[in-house]
Amino acid sequence: MEASRRYDLVLFGGTGFTGGLTAEYLAAHAPRDMRWALAGRNRVKLEALAARLAAEAPEAPVPDLLEADAADRDRLGEIAASTRVVVTTVGPYIFYGEPLVAACAAAGTDYVDLTGEPEFVDWMWVEHHAEAERTGARLIHCCGFDSIPHDLGAYFTVKQLPEGVPLKVDGYVRSNARFSGGTYHSAINIMGRARQGQKVAKERRRLESRPADREIHSAPARPGRNERVGGWTVPLPTIDGTIIRRSAAALDRYGPDFTYGHNMVAKHLATVGALGLGVGTVAGLAQLPPTRNLLLKLKAPGEGPSEAERERSWFKVVFLGEGGGKRVVTEVSGGDPGYGETSKMLAESGLSLAFDDLPDTAGQVTTAVAMGDALLDRLQKAGIVFRVIESSDNG
């Protein structure tokens, strides 16, 4: 079936900012014989993007241009059936993403996105996981800064620890990057749709099976000063911790009993307090449509840091792992997480699905489950650092 498909990869949303960076990365780093296409609703913008790619990477494979609206299910079905992998940056996914996931699940086509929206991920599992398992499609969400450095960072950490024993890993995130407009809008919508998100999460828990002979836990929330990571820490309620625990539930390598805690690190206690107050206030305002709409108007979806700001941006995620008498400290680090590194992670995820020898998986799966070592190797070669800082026996 794969040999009969016209394309190896189709990118949706390339005419947007992050999508454009993803297209540039693919043009610069994909195999010269890759068969690919750019898909979107505006032909003029697609042609402009293709011209830019041709000027910047003249040796790159030339993409076809496919017109498609995110709501046109018939057209999306045609495109999904024509390719092995779909990569999409078209969000907010809760509003625009479901038809493309449905098309890929039905066609047996691998799908990757960069959402960080828990409601959307759970909704797609409820609606399309079973169909994707039947057709062989791999539906992989959160292939940007949410949640690849965290998911593969925890996976990398676990690999440094003994097998077949209870393991505990805590992740600590630090970055100087500024939120993009798209990330801001997604966060406001997540807060404003908390009840809908809880409802679909409950439905997923009702339907989803759990490991019969293994335990997966969330670490207790313990804000405070942590000298090992050099700052004040507070639990971070993003989707990343959930993704890591789902990887652990699917992979025996995480041991018979696995616990993970996800945290942010701030240099000053006042920063933690101000952030908590700000998030609490915004979350309250996001519950009512009038105030939610006012919040959304404060920052445009296409708004983001300047190129100079992005050049100065960085992220570091430190993991403290222990089990079986051994302790390790690992770190994942890179440049601008919101744009440059996210587009790199998304593109490499698509290329890994298209060209790497991967485990036999299907349905909605995580990056660690679907691509694991292959994607880890790709990202290291692409300049994202995974390293062991300390390793010691504590027995």
Question: 153 is written with which tokens?
Answer: 């960072």
Q: Which residues pair with 266 in a beta bridge?
A: 232
- The reported pLDDT for the residue numbered 395 is 54
- Asked whether the beta carbons of 339 and 315 are under 8 A apart, the reply is no
Greater confidence, 153 or 227?
153
The residue-averaged pLDDT of 177-195 equals: 74
**Could you give the CA distance from residue 28 to residue 23 in angstroms, rounded to a whole number?**
9
Could you tell me the domains of the chain?
Answer: 2-143+341-371 (3.40.50.720), 148-336+378-393 (3.30.360)
- The reported pLDDT for the residue numbered 278 is 64
Per-residue confidence at 182, pLDDT binned at 50, 70, 90? Answer: low
Per-residue confidence at 271, pLDDT binned at 50, 70, 90? Answer: low
Give the residue among 76, 96, 71 at the shortest CA–CA distance from 86.
76
Whole-model pTM: value is 0.93
- The reported pLDDT for the residue numbered 384 is 97
Per-residue confidence at 1, pLDDT binned at 50, 70, 90? Answer: very low
Cβ atoms < 10 Å from Cβ of 389: 11
- The reported pLDDT for the residue numbered 142 is 97
The residue-averaged pLDDT of 292-311 equals: 71
Q: Among residues of the chain, what percentage have pLDDT more than 90?
A: 74
Q: Please identify which residue in the block is written with the tokens 């989707």.
A: 239
Per-residue confidence at 16, pLDDT binned at 50, 70, 90? Answer: confident
Question: 191 is written with which tokens?
Answer: 């807060």
- The reported pLDDT for the residue numbered 275 is 64
The residue-averaged pLDDT of 96-112 equals: 98
**Could you give the CA distance from residue 130 to residue 136 in angstroms, rounded to a whole number?**
10
